[in-house]
Structure 1
Amino acid sequence: MSAFVPGNAPANHQTMRLAARFAFRELRGGLKGFYIFIACIALGVAAIAGVTSVSRALTEGISREGQSILGGDLDFSLIHRQADTDQLAYLNGLGDLSRVATTRAMARRPETGDQALVELKAVDAPYPLYGTFELASGEALETALARKDGTWGAVVDPSLLARLGANVGDTLSLGRATIRIADTIANEPDKLAGGMEFGPRLLISDAALPETGLIQPGSLVRWHYRVRMAPAPNLEAMEGIVEEAKSAQRDAGWRIRSRANASPGLQRSIDRFAQFLTLVGLTALVVGGVGVANAIRAYLETKREVIASFKCLGSTGGFVFKIYLVQMLVLALLGIVVGLVLGALIPFAAAAALAPVLPVKLAASIYPTELALGLVYGLLTALAFAIWPLGRAHDVPPTALFRDIVTGGAKLPRKRYLFATAATVLALAAIAILLAHDQRMAGTYIAASAGAFVLLVLVARGIMAIARRLPSVRSTELRLAIANIHRPGALTPSVVLSLGLGLSLLVALALIDGNLRRELTATIADKAPSFFFIDIQSHERDAFEALLNAEASDANLQSVPMLRGRIVSLNGIAADKFVPAQEGSGWVLRGDRGITYDASLPKNSKLEEGSWWPEDYTGIPLVSFDEEAATDLGLKIGDRITVNVLGREITAEIANTRTVEWQSLAINFVMVFSPNTFAGAPHAHLMTLGWDDDVPEETELALLKTVSNAFPTVTAIRVKDAISQVNDLVAQLAWAIRGASSITLIASILVLAGALAAGHRSRIYDAVILKTIGATRARLIFAYALEYAILGLATAVFALLAGGVAAWYVITQIMDGSFVMMPVTAAGAALIALVLTVGFGLVGTWRVLGEKPAPVLRNL
């Protein structure tokens, strides 16, 4: 009889059509047993589609509000100096012009002596060119900043009032000027353009700025010239306008940004965060793939008689494969559709939930490209984990399918299925890497995940092998638990695989977070100086140092000249066209860098290659470069670097490279020049002060008050305050990352539940037989609890090792920090594993033990 394979074999498409008919007929029985399958796929797809859609919504939001964020269509920024007459004439020719000055300063309450570091911003009358600057009272900004009764007005961030214990109407000392708090800021449209802030905003009129005395030669002030063009050019035209501006004013030395990249730092952060979360979503999909494989194996086990009937009637193994492949694809597509619907809704939910905390409004919409990416990831993951178990069913003979449920070995599927599985996995990895913002990091993450997956398989087999070789124990319950771990059809591989990846990821993130906090609050805080003093003018330097020596005679002082400069070119290649050898130090080429000069090697540096210049050196300008940055950029001794300082381009030759102790937070620079390079250039000085031993907070605050009163134009940064602010930021980011990464753990729980459900049938047989020969429910529950506890503990140990290695690599190799293992994190991971495995296991066991023996025994 040849019902499935007639004499003349049908065309391939006809065979596929026939397989599809059988597949859909079988699906009429419902989705029982596939809810975990669908949930695993849906969760991973929703994570990827949702994360990429939110990232796109943020990017679109920045793009739509680019003019308001930047404060104009174009922004030309200079540091230390203002634009000259020719440059102003050029800028005025582009469109309407507004000037903004930004710097850091100390604001003080004369009545109480309280003071705080503020981000000072001085604006002119046309500000803002785009967007609306809103005050809490609704008053016009120009009115609030106006001079009344001889005192200039200022508007402040509400947090400054809390920090100083001040109210609207109070006066503050700012440099040498007295200002009046006229109002608080409700909305600052161009706040994002300023980058990271170390203090609350204080905004004044640019007419008041000269009276503060903060503007001196070499002061760390950035001048922004915003241009509003009429009509406003489209985004495609902006790049050409920027290039034209660079050519027209080659010697200006300004940094030009357009509304097309209004906040590049924020955009880079969004891209990196989205990449990480996409990889987390992919990990959730891979973990869910284990659930897919479990569900398929369990489903095929229930179809033994059906498959046997197909083969007895003449069906080939390939035809059986096609039938169940179609079914798997249909179910996968169902899960993908659910995931895509959830992913499409996530940007709208995020826009509503995060509106109060996000610095930019999300452009919530449905983004087909991002949803298509989720579909591709979901489909490839389903195929990668479905082909293997379906392929193994290809060669199982009908007689074997009728045998007892516990028989069967671990025979590999045919080569075609092995090849198809490998090709699908490689395609999945290739897409993840090629579409990543940082391909090196994505590749490392994929390789680590693949390595962890392979290790988990080996760990599961190792646990089974050890259990198989253990000597017999006297405890019946423990003996039964050990036997359950290594017997055919054991849950060990599924449990270890399902929990291992999720727990490893969470352990790694927790250890990275803990080590970063330790580095900030302990290691760095111990090594770091207590204060940074900036904008010390040359004529004040000696008097300032004398004051510090008098007030803190037991403290250590360090002082260096400081300028700001921007790398223009390297070996004749423009910085924006230069391709670094590695990505690690690309930040050196973006924006302005602090630079200094010194006749001798700085204290916190170690010479690596080349030689230092003589103290009386008078030759061509030389520069010492940070060793790590030079390696990443592909620079060597003798290469030439051109920097723009105070509007003048200076080319220097790399004379040596040195290792810099960045972790100490002492005075360090990527570039240190020979003293003759900046002979006669106006500049300020940077000074640090620190004690060898801990001093009371009152001592630091008293010194801060004395210094601020004596030198009001010097900005003092208390390092502990800065570390505390960064630590708070790291904590918030860590919680956000761990919250997002919990998706993987949710997927692990789903897979664990699916694995236990898949073993439900065999557990019923076991329980019934054991109860028949005299086992009590209590003893069986204890035996199963021991089994799950052993598996959970083994998985936790692996998660600690794998997560610890991953965290060590990130901290020591990527962040150049020091790593310590944290026992609390270890105990937390073990507890999670034990609670999940024992908890879910006992819930399923309780249901198994409730089965009546008679119906089961009747079918044996």
Structure 2
Amino acid sequence: MSAARPAASPGFSLAVRFALRELRGGLKGFYIFIACIALGVAAIAGVTSVSRALTEGISSEGQSILGGDLAFSLVLREAAPEETAYLDSLGTTSRAITLRAMARTTDSSDQTIVELKTADDAYPLYGTLDLDDGQPLQTVLEKTNGEWGAAADPSLLSRLNIKKGDTIALGRTNVRITGVIAKEPDKLAEGMEFGPRLMISEGALADTGLIQPGSLARWNYRVKLASPVDDEGLKSLIESTEEAYPKAGWRIRSRVNAAPGLQRNIDRFAQFLTLVGLTALVVGGVGVANAIRAFLETKREVIASFKCLGATGGFVFQIYLVQMLCLAAIGIAIGLVVGAIIPFAAAAALSGVLPVALETSLYPAELGLGLLYGFLTALAFALWPLGRAHDVPPTALFRDIVAGGPRLPRKRYLVATAAMTAALCAIALLLAYDLRIALIYIAASAIAFLLLVVVARMIMSAARKMPPQKSTELRLAIANIHRPGALTPSVVLSLGLGLSLLVAIALIDGNLRRELTSTIAEEAPSFFFLDIQNSERDAFQTLVSKETTGTKLVSVPMLRGRLVSLKGVPVEEIQAPPNSAWILRGDRGITYEDKLPENSKLVTGDWWPEGYSGKPLVSFEDEAARDLGLKIGDEVTVNVLGREITAEIANTRKVEWRSLSINFVMVFSPNTFAGAPHANLMTVAWDLDVPAETELDLLRKVANAFPTVTAIRVKDAISQVNDLVEQLAWAIRGASSITLIASVLVLAGALAAGHRNRIYDAVILKTLGATRRRLMIAYGLEYAILGLSTAVFAMVAGGLAAWFVTTQVMNGSFALLPFTAVGAALIALVLTVSFGLIGTWKVLGEKPAPVLRNL
């Protein structure tokens, strides 16, 4: 008789069969699990799909947005004849001149800044410019009865309280509003606007007298290529143009990057919302772990039976891993369907709001990202509790409560959990637009998660050490907080992350508004006056001094230049940190000074002496210099008026940007631009607050006396920025509410997971004489203590996160706003107590007899 051989370990296919058979009983107990996964996946898939739809919309309309296949822009000068001839050789060319100017009513009763733009006969090369009455633009802009025509944005009419057909003053001439712009195809390519659009002809612009030496005007040349060229061909053409005209100083764009600023903002916002969606998934992961833990508690006898029949711990793990993956697949499928629908819904809801139409479609890569995030999150939070199932002993079949085995799952499950978490972090970093922000987010999330675990343990420890209370209800509530199987860890984790994120966003929003409306508004000057000619500067200062009292005037030379190279390296080859990359893009305002500017403080080096006449020197803003790897003695090259100038860094200085006073990244020694034509920039600030009527009165007098000077009222600019912040804040709050919804779902799941134990408690206590009222008070106190404890953590964690973002990322000031903190506490308290008591009421309604028979 041969010796008995040990039974072979059941295969994975058998585990799948067992898993699917168990799932025949339905999804009861897993609705929270599925909802948590679906919500996070929908958020990530939806946000990335909308971002892709916007990007594709920009790409598909690239020619119309840019106004051509290629666009060449020059600041302070028009193209030289040989440059114009070269552009004409490429195809059809359209020239437009853009600048800011003041438009006034003919009786000088009102005025406003406008974004002025000229249009020639070829405009627009692509797309259509629509006027309200359908007339051709060139007809509208013609000179009739001695007055030039103009086409205006509708908002200009409302600002000046005029109508079509009325005449306005522009510079040293008058123009008649003969058309109202309904659609401007290349508006997105123009960048940030301070006022409404006003379009005129070049002949009208010449009569205004606005173009003077040094005027901050931009000449834009759009080219419609004579023959079709693909994207690679465009890139080669740009490179050959830069080689042929290395010192032209023009900025070249193609239809491929028609609106780079908008694209960068879309990428940044999409990254933020993706991280918010990932936060919702991580919060939902707590719900996944809770659901699996509660489910396995109900399956202890089944698992013990498997063990008694010879199943290994690995086989049991496989059974419930398959079930978890099936349930996760259901949640992910729901999330992907919702995420796929979101771009279509967004396109319909925001058709009149977004600056470009969404190119709606199903985007497999973006949906695949949501699928990947969903499965990795499910595994990261499920492997730990599933690993615990590996060691459920066969004795659980005969005893309802057993000694539970080791506190941690086996090493293989710990390693697998760590691997899934690392994969989540790696994907978030790999796809991040801003690597620094992604790293900060991951570190903050990990710290917050660990702190929440510690806080939950501290709450339980504090409750355990409290002396006995006289109140029976309070004594029972405190005991429930620290007893075995207490809800404390689940509740604190459920609400902690979501509330911390909401508190942080609310505090950042509040501090940003406070900075704009109080700190900056109080420190900032009242007006910026642009394009003051040297011949007008003294008269301008005399007028302002005469018409106002208690004002401070600051005047500096103003030029525009584009950085060409740093330390001999072309700027196109430099990978700058995101917070300083803007310095290398496009044109920068530059100036020269004999003395250190008032709002600056030297950090390194020395200022040049008055009357310095040696090698051109430059002072660089200190933080920007460090970000770009610059130090004293390094050389920077700028292109100003088509001329490349190389200067040596003599010092670095710290600039107080928040004051909105005259500040520049680069300040040159005066000899650098000797003889260069330029205008002046001046600020006017009152020592004390003055009424708006006083400011507007000065604006009227300046506009009448100096019609070619452009004025920017700082309060109006701050109001525009504040409106933009408000719109973004609502979008961010809406997106962040997804995390709170996930928190609520997890909280509901955590309370449902403790339902079984609560039934036993309630039945025994009622049998011993406890009334429903007393039990409700006890449970209410328990939930209130947990809610308040979580709110305190959220206030501290959210406050620290907001402080870091506000002071370290945005370089602003921070103040703890009490109403935000109180709001977080109320949200936590209401949610915890409400959901807790709703579940408790159902528990208290259970009949004692069926429960007692099974004890």
TM-score of the two chains, using structure 2 as the length reference = 0.98
Instruction: Tell me the equivalent position of 2:26.
Output: 30
Alpha-carbon separation, structure 2, partners of 1:42 and 1:562: 55
Tell me which residue corresponds to 1:652: 647
Asked if 1:126 is matched to 2:125, the reply is no
Deviation at 1:405, TM superposition (A): 5.0
3-state DSSP class of the match of 2:572?
A: coil
Q: Counterpart of 1:116 in 2: which secondary structure? A: strand
Matches within 5 A, 1:664-679: 664-679=659-674
Q: Which residue of 1 aligns with 2:766?
A: 771
Distance 2:405 2:472 in 1: 27
Tell me which residue corresponds to 2:268.
272
Separation (CA, whole Å) in 2 of partners of 1:797 and 1:559 = 50
In 2, are the aligned partners of 1:73 and 1:232 still within 8 Å (CA)?
A: no
Cα contact 1:557–1:690 (8 A) shared by 2: yes
1:762 correspondence with 2:757: yes
CA distance in 2, matches of 1:767, 1:221: 79
Distance 1:410 1:709 in 2: 85
Counterpart mapping for 1:679-694 below 5 A: 679-694=674-689
What is the 5 A alignment of 1:354-369?
A: 354-369=350-365
Q: 1:383 to 1:401 in 2, by over 3 A?
A: farther
- Distance in 1 (CA, whole Å) between partners of 2:545 and 2:406 is 78
The residue number in structure 1 matching 2:734 is 739
User: Matches of residues 310-329 of structure 1 in structure 2 within 5 Å?
Assistant: 310-329=306-325
Structure 2 counterpart of 1:214, from 210, 222, 228: 210
Residue type matched to 2:211 in 1? I
Q: CA deviation at 1:858?
A: 1.6
Distance 1:404 1:215 in 2: 90
Paired residues of 1:124 and 1:207 also in contact (CA < 8 A): no
| Structure 2: gaps (5+ residues) | none
Q: Residue 414 of structure 2 aligns with which residue?
A: 418
Deviation, structure 1 residue 584: 2.4
Q: Deviations over 1:224-258 (max 9, x none)?
A: 00000133322232211111111121121100000
Are 1:836 and 2:835 counterparts?
A: no
User: What do residues 482-518 of structure 1 show as CA deviations (whole Å, max 9, x unaligned)?
Assistant: 1111111111111110111011001000000000111
The runs of at least 4 aligned residues of structure 1 exceeding 4 Å deviation read none
Instruction: Give the C-alpha shift of residue 139 in structure 1.
Output: 1.9
After superposition, give the CA deviation of every residue in 1:11-52 in whole Å (9 maximum; x if it has no partner): xxx711111010001000000000110010011011111111
Do the aligned partners of 1:508 and 1:804 also contact (CA within 8 Å) in 2? Answer: yes
Q: 1:800 aligns with which of 773, 787, 795?
A: 795
1:309 aligns with 2:305: yes
Show CA shifts across 1:156-213 (max 9, x none): 1111111111111111111111111122211111010011111111111222111111
1:77-102 residue CA offsets vs partner (Å, 9 max, x unmatched): 00011001000000001110000111
User: Alignment partner of 1:687: what SS?
Assistant: strand
For the pair 1:9 / 2:8, whether they are aligned, the reply is yes
Alpha-carbon deviations, 1:332-367, whole Å to 9, x = none? 111111111111111111111111100001011001
Q: How many residues align?
A: 852
CA contact (8 A) 1:505 1:803 kept: yes
Match of 1:626 in 2: 621
CA distance in structure 2 between the partners assigned to 1:498 and 1:636 by the alignment: 49
Residue of structure 2 aligned with 1:163, choices 159, 162, 172: 159
> 1:603: which partner in 2?
598
SS in 1 for 2:556: strand
Counterpart in the other structure of 1:246: 242
SS in 2 for 1:208: helix
Pair 1:68–1:834, CA change in 2 (3 A): same
Shift of 1:385: 0.5
Match of 2:57 in 1: 61
Q: Deviations over 1:568-600 (max 9, x none)?
A: 0111111111233x4321111011000000111
Q: What is residue 78 of structure 2 aligned with on the other side?
A: 82
Q: TM-score, normalised by structure 1?
A: 0.98
Q: Which residue does the alignment assign to 2:44?
A: 48
The alpha-carbon deviation at position 400 of structure 1 amounts to 3.8
Aligned to 1:441: 437
Tell me the CA shift for residue 7 of structure 1: 3.1
Deviations 1:60-89 (CA, angstroms, capped at 9, x unpaired): 110000000000000000001100100000
1:292 to 288, 301, 305: 288
| Whole-Å separation in 2 of the counterparts to 1:217 and 1:839 | 70
Q: Does 1:230 align with 2:192?
A: no
Q: Is the 8 A contact 1:583 1:632 kept in 2?
A: no
- Contact preservation (8 Å) 2:65, 2:258: yes
Query: 1:509-545 CA deviation, whole Å, 9 max, x = no partner?
Result: 0000000111111111111111100000111111111
The answer to whether the 8 A contact 1:406-1:489 is kept is no
What residue identity is the alignment partner of 2:296?
A: L
Return 442-451 or 157-166, whichever deviates more.
157-166
Residue equivalent to 2:848: 853
Counterpart in 2 of 1:533? Answer: 529
Q: Which residue of 1 aligns with 2:183?
A: 187
CA distance in 2, matches of 1:523, 1:672: 26
CA distance in 1, matches of 2:194, 2:380: 48
Shift of 1:780: 1.0
How far does the alpha carbon of each residue in 1:796-825 deviate from its partner, in whole angstroms, 9 at most, with x for none? 000000000000001111111110000000
Q: From 689, 699, 707, give the equivalent of 1:704.
A: 699
The equivalent of 2:804 in structure 1 is 809
Give the aligned partner of residue 513 of structure 1: 509
Q: 1:196 aligns with which of 182, 192, 198?
A: 192
Whether the 8 Å CA contact 1:788–1:841 is kept in 2: the answer is yes
Counterpart for residue 398 of structure 1: 394
Q: Provide the C-alpha distance between the structure 1 equivalents of 2:358 and 2:578, rounded to a whole number of angstroms.
A: 29
Identity %: 73
Q: Which of the numbers 709, 713, 716 marks the counterpart of 1:714? A: 709
**Cα distance, 1:401 vs. partner?**
5.7
Instruction: Tell me if structure 1 keeps the 8 A contact 2:550–2:688.
Output: no
Deviation per CA, 1:375-428, whole angstroms, max 9, x where unpaired? 110000000000000101111212146433596477100111111101110111
**Alignment check: 8 A CA contact 2:76 2:215 kept:** yes
Amino acid at match of 2:842: R
Contact kept, 8 Å, 1:176 with 1:213, in 2: the verdict is yes
- The letter for the 1-side match of 2:676 is A
Paired amino acid for 2:835:
F
Distance in 2 (CA, whole Å) between partners of 1:8 and 1:301 is 28
Q: Offset at 1:8? A: 5.7
Q: CA RMSD in A?
A: 1.2
Look up the SS of the partner of 2:530 in the other structure: strand
The code of the aligned residue for 1:60 comes to: E
Larger CA deviation: 232-241 vs 753-762: 232-241
Letter in 2 for 1:450: A
Report the AA paired with residue 146 of structure 2. G
Match of 2:336 in 1: 340
Is residue 586 of structure 2 the alignment partner of residue 587 of structure 1? no
Q: 1:298 to 1:276 in 2, by over 3 A?
A: same
Could you tell me how far apart the structure 2 residues matched to 1:407 and 1:759 are? 19
2:670 partner letter: P
Please identify, of 52-61 and 141-150, the stretch whose mean Cα deviation from structure 2 is larger: 141-150
Q: Which runs of 5+ in 1 are unaligned?
A: none
| Alignment partner of 1:380 is 2:376 | yes
For 2:699, give the aligned amino acid. Answer: L
Match of 2:609, as an amino acid?
P
2:505·2:733 contact (CA, 8 Å) conserved in 1?
A: yes
